[in-house]
């Protein structure tokens, strides 16, 4: 079972479903990001494009905005994950803590995906999104499972050690292979995935940043060429995602 855990729909003319149909991928997780192309646009497209042989999972994004949180709560049964994107949403650590306290008080225990690609914008500093800064969050909210998207970008070494230390942490492979293509950082990612024997790692393309099948071919080739065992590769490509959903 191959699941792409990290895809987006960014406009009405998205080719995501067409690509899914013709790819070797069995399912996708579509992540809605607040402020970009949102749930109310994505859900009708998902309903129109559901087929028997492909699975579609959905991730809702929430922010500090009460209206948004309430909207997500009304819909939350439909969603498999909740996404927080600190950089796009200009959320700092304390904001994320408040969101989690609110979620917990409402007994919403879905896995939380946090974008973890440190980058600067006008209102956001690189350091706000450094993986190691979230260590206390993993401890305080140890009843939640977290996925650090993009494996922490250039801080993937931190994420590797944190994956080894925190049972409730996962990371996805999206973006690294494109952003750092053919660099030592990309090689390190696969070294770490091999060291982890494929555990705690979720395959992701960050579509439309990369085409679905092209991303899969590239990352699969990387894992095979470094000599990963096929059952460890299977974990990355889908098993971990399904295990996380069934927690």
Residues that bind Zn ion (CB under 5 A): 206
The structure tokens listed for 102 are: 């609110």
Q: Which residues contact 221 (CB under 8 A, 6 or more apart)?
A: none
User: Are 128 and 92 spatial neighbours (Cβ–Cβ below 8 Å)?
Assistant: yes
Closest listed residue to residue 32, CA positions, set 24, 43, 23:
43
Cβ at position 121, least distance to Zn ion in Å? 16
Beta carbon of residue 36, minimum distance to Zn ion (angstroms, whole number): 10
Query: Beta 201-202 vs 146-149: how paired, if at all?
Result: unpaired
List the alpha helices (DSSP H) in the chain.
16-22, 39-49, 66-75, 86-89, 93-105, 135-140, 156-165, 176-179, 184-195, 212-225, 230-234, 240-245
Residue whose CB is less far from Zn ion, 7 or 240: 7
Nearest residue relative to Zn ion (C-beta): 206
Q: How far is the CB of 9 from Zn ion (least distance, A)?
A: 11
Nearer to Zn ion, 117 or 141 (CB): 117
How far, in Å, CA of 20 to CA of 53, rounded? Answer: 10
Whose Cβ is closer to Zn ion: residue 51's or residue 119's? 119
126/197 with CB nearer Zn ion: 126
Distance from C-alpha of 206 to C-alpha of 176, rounded to nearest angstrom: 10
Q: Which CB atom, from 17 or from 228, has the smaller least distance to Zn ion?
A: 17
Three-state secondary structure call for residue 129: helix
How far apart are the C-alpha atoms of 122 and 177, rounded to whole Å? 27
Smallest distance from Zn ion to CB 204, Å? 8
158 vs 206, which CB is nearer to Zn ion? 206
Query: At its nearest, how many Å lie between Zn ion and the CB of residue 8?
Result: 6
Residue whose C-alpha is closest to residue 19's, from 31, 4, 33, 34: 4
Cβ 206 to Zn ion, closest distance in Å? Answer: 4
């Amino acid at each position: 079972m191959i699941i792409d855990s990290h895809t987006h729909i960014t406009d009405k003319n998205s080719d995501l479903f067409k690509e899914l149909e013709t790819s070797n991928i069995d399912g996708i997780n579509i992540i809605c990001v607040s402020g970009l192309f949102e749930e109310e646009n994505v859900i009708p497209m998902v309903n129109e494009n559901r087929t028997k042989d492909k699975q579609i999972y959905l991730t809702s994004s929430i922010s500090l905005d009460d209206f948004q949180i309430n909207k997500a709560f009304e819909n939350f049964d439909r969603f498999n994950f909740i996404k927080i994107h600190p950089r796009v949403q200009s959320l700092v650590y304390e904001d994320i803590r408040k969101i989690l306290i609110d979620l917990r008080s409402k007994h919403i225990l879905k896995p939380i995906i946090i974008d973890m690609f440190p980058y600067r914008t006008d209102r956001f500093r690189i350091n706000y999104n450094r993986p190691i800064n979230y260590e206390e969050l993993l401890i305080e909210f140890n009843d939640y499972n977290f996925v650090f998207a993009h494996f922490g970008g250039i801080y993937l070494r931190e994420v590797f050690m944190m994956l080894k230390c925190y049972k409730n942490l996962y990371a996805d492979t999206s973006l690294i292979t494109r952003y750092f293509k053919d660099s030592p950082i990309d090689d390190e990612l696969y070294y770490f995935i091999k060291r982890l024997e494929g555990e705690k790692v979720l395959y992701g393309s960050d579509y439309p940043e990369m085409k679905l099948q092209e991303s899969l071919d590239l990352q699969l080739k990387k894992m095979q060429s470094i000599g990963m065992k096929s059952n460890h590769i299977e974990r990355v490509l889908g098993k971990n995602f399904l295990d996380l959903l069934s927690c």
